[in-house]
Every structure is written in structure tokens, then in C-alpha cells.
Amino acid sequence: MHCKDSFPPAEIADIPDALIVRTSRPLDAAPLLELDRACFGRRAWTAREWLEVVEEPDWTTLVAELGDRVVGAAALLLWPPEASLASLAVHPKLRRRGLGTLLLRASLARARDARARWLALEVDAVNAAAVRLYRREGFGVARRFCEDGQARLGMVRRLGGTDGR
């Protein structure tokens, strides 16, 4: 696995050698939209929203690419001392191989590089896969709220810990 972004070494198995993690470019908007639809269905962001995300400087999107296909992505808003992870998605056919962990750790490293002091995110309380991943990577529940009739969690992870992660 080649990585063009700095992130801590991870004990991650099963990730194809050809996988690349890189910062998005404007041309990624279309494949990111496609990935988002495969992962979030009707809740996916629109084409216009993805165009904004890849073009506006406040946003940083990390793209996991296999061959010429975008197979995962993490969208970050970096406003030091805050950072928020607005989206994390892995293609359904490539899940449970450590790709989500890889993108999450790369996001933490990127937020830390931007001198953010914490990384926050929101997730559906029933999204067991994501909540488990976030807890495993050190996120704690900061608040519980309801949005559009859906129970949601606000989760936060402090950055700059002494363990170097």
C-alpha cells in the first residue's frame, strides 16, 4: 500500500498493495458522488455539494484509490483548533479489510498536521459498524441528539496525545 499522505503506521491487514491514499482533486467530484451514493443512498451529498467539497479550501478530502477507482473517502473540515469529519465511506465490496481504519487514521493525522486540537463527527446511533470503528480509534460520545427523527451521536477524539497517534 502506498500512501501520499502522512499518517501513523497501522497494523492493518488485507489492504491491496496497489491502494493509494491521496488528497482529492476537482476531477474526483464525479467518482466521489458515485461512491457516496453506493454508501449512503438517498442521504448521499449532491453533485454540487461534492464539487464544493473538492474545490473549497476549507475542505480536505482524502481519497482511497485502487487502480483508477475511488474506493473510499474521508471528507474533513479543518478549522483549527477544531476539525470535523463530515463523511467517511468505504465501497461496500471492500469493507472489513481495514480501509475505514486507514482513512480514519489518515484523517486524524491530517487534522493534527493542521494544528487542530480535536476531531469531531456525527453518526447515527444505530450505525454499529461506524460507532464501533470510532470507539476503537479513541472517539468518545460527547452528545446525543435527534435529527430528522433519527437518534444521532456527536463523537470527539482529542488530538496530540502522548501515544503519537
Ligand X SMILES: CC(C)(COP(=O)(O)OP(=O)(O)OC[C@H]1O[C@@H](n2cnc3c(N)ncnc32)[C@H](O)[C@@H]1OP(=O)(O)O)[C@@H](O)C(=O)NCCC(=O)NCCS
Binding site for ligand X (CB under 6 A): 39, 88-90, 95-101, 121, 123, 127-130, 132-133, 136
Q: Please, which residue, 53 or 88, has the CB nearer to ligand X?
A: 88
Q: Give min distance, CB of 160 to ligand X, in A.
A: 23
- The residues with which 124 forms a beta bridge, in sequence order, are 152
Q: Give min distance, CB of 65 to ligand X, in A.
A: 15
Q: Please, which residue, 96 or 162, has the CB nearer to ligand X?
A: 96
Q: Which residue is nearest to ligand X (CB)?
A: 100
CB 103 within 8 A of CB 73: yes
Strands 19-23 and 2-3 come out as: parallel
Q: Give min distance, CB of 114 to ligand X, in A.
A: 20
- In terms of C-beta density within 10 A (0-12 exposed, 13-18 middle, 19 or more buried), how is residue 5 classed? middle
Q: Please, which residue, 115 or 140, has the CB nearer to ligand X?
A: 140
Sequence-distant (≥ 6) Cβ neighbours of residue 37 within 8 angstroms: 44
Q: Give min distance, CB of 71 to ligand X, in A.
A: 9
d(CA 5, CA 73): 13
Q: Give min distance, CB of 129 to ligand X, in A.
A: 3
Q: Which residues of 23-32 are buried (b: 16+ CB within 10 A; e: fewer)?
A: ebeeebbebb
Q: Please, which residue, 21 or 89, has the CB nearer to ligand X?
A: 89
Q: Please, which residue, 78 or 87, has the CB nearer to ligand X?
A: 87
